[in-house]
């Protein structure tokens, strides 16, 4: 696939310190990473924070990317771990803090799928929802999703199949 080869070349140039390559990489992949975070039903502010944290981590570990390997699974694995780390950190902070006079927060602004699709996706377990978002929204292959989630191809197929069954049931 031409796109994967272009991403791999950009990543190698990024590792070599090419500023234009990193700019192109960020501009190319940020929209789909942002949709990935919004698809996890976080607010736009948290999605922005997660995107920024992800690019910071990618920059810090860019030397670990192996030339010739697919870039998307490597980046999505970092994004996924960033999201998990972010929620763990937030949970620990919430457990220690006591909220006083908390103002009601406006509902999160979610772009992308229609509200009916969002409601149906909320019904899926997180692991199935994550697989569906990577496959359908980010247009990753099953092999890329398996690498990004540290799962086997069979496990990804099973999660996708179960998610599709549940979604069909909700539509019916």
pLDDT at residue 169, as a whole number: 84
pLDDT above 90 (res 158):
yes
pLDDT at residue 83, as a whole number: 86
- CB contact set of 25 (below 8 Å; sequence gap of 6+): 7, 10, 11, 14
Question: Higher pLDDT residue, 4 or 57?
Answer: 57
Q: Could you give the residue ranges of the DSSP H alpha helices within the chain?
A: 2-15, 19-38, 44-61, 71-96, 115-122, 126-132, 142-149, 153-171
* Selection from 138, 22, 126, 136 nearest residue 76 by Cα: 138
pLDDT at residue 108, as a whole number: 60
Mean pLDDT, rounded, for 4-32: 89
In a domain, 103, yes or no: no
- Same domain? For 127 and 169 the reply is yes
Q: What angle do CA 133, 112, 78 make, to 5 degrees?
A: 40
- Same domain? For 90 and 120 the reply is no
Domain boundary pick from 94, 125, 147? 94
Q: Are 34 and 47 in contact (CB under 8 A)?
A: yes
pLDDT at residue 103, as a whole number: 55
pLDDT at residue 152, as a whole number: 92
Mean pLDDT, rounded, for 78-105: 73
- Same domain? For 32 and 68 the reply is yes
* Selection from 25, 102, 86, 8 nearest residue 59 by Cα: 25
- Number of domains making up the chain: 2
pLDDT tens-digit map of 46-76: 888 899 999 999 998 888 888 888 888 899 9
Per-residue confidence at 89, pLDDT binned at 50, 70, 90? Answer: confident
- Same domain? For 81 and 3 the reply is yes
In a domain, 99, yes or no: no
pLDDT at residue 1, as a whole number: 41
In a domain, 146, yes or no: yes
- Same domain? For 88 and 172 the reply is no
pLDDT at residue 67, as a whole number: 86
Q: What is the pTM of this model?
A: 0.57
Q: What angle do CA 55, 39, 124 make, to 5 degrees?
A: 135
pLDDT at residue 57, as a whole number: 92
pLDDT tens-digit map of 106-154: 656 555 545 577 888 888 888 888 898 888 888 888 998 998 888 899 9
- Same domain? For 90 and 43 the reply is yes
* Selection from 135, 133, 125, 124 nearest residue 157 by Cα: 135
Question: Higher pLDDT residue, 166 or 2?
Answer: 166
H or E segment and range at residue 139? none
- Domain with 24, as residue range(s), is 1-94
* Buried-exposed string 46-75: b where 16+ CB fall within 10 A, e elsewhere: bbeebbebbbebbeeebeebeeeebbbbbb
């Amino acid at each position: 696939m031409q796109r994967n080869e272009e991403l791999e070349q950009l990543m190698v140039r990024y590792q070599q310190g090419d500023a234009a390559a990193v700019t192109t990489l960020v501009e190319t992949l940020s929209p789909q990473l942002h949709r990935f975070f919004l698809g996890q039903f976080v607010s736009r502010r948290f999605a922005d924070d997660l995107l920024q944290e992800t690019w910071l981590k990618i920059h810090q570990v860019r030397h670990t990317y192996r030339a010739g390997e697919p870039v998307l699974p490597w980046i999505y694995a970092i994004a996924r771990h960033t999201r998990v780390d972010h929620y763990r950190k937030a949970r620990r902070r919430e457990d220690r803090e006591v909220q006083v006079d908390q103002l009601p927060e406006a509902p999160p602004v979610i772009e992308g799928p229609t509200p009916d699709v969002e409601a149906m996706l909320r019904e899926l377990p997180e692991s199935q929802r994550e697989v569906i978002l990577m496959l359908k929204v980010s247009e990753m292959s099953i092999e890329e999703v398996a690498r990004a989630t540290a799962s086997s191809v069979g496990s990804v197929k099973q999660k996708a199949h179960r998610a599709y069954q549940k979604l069909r049931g909700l539509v019916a």
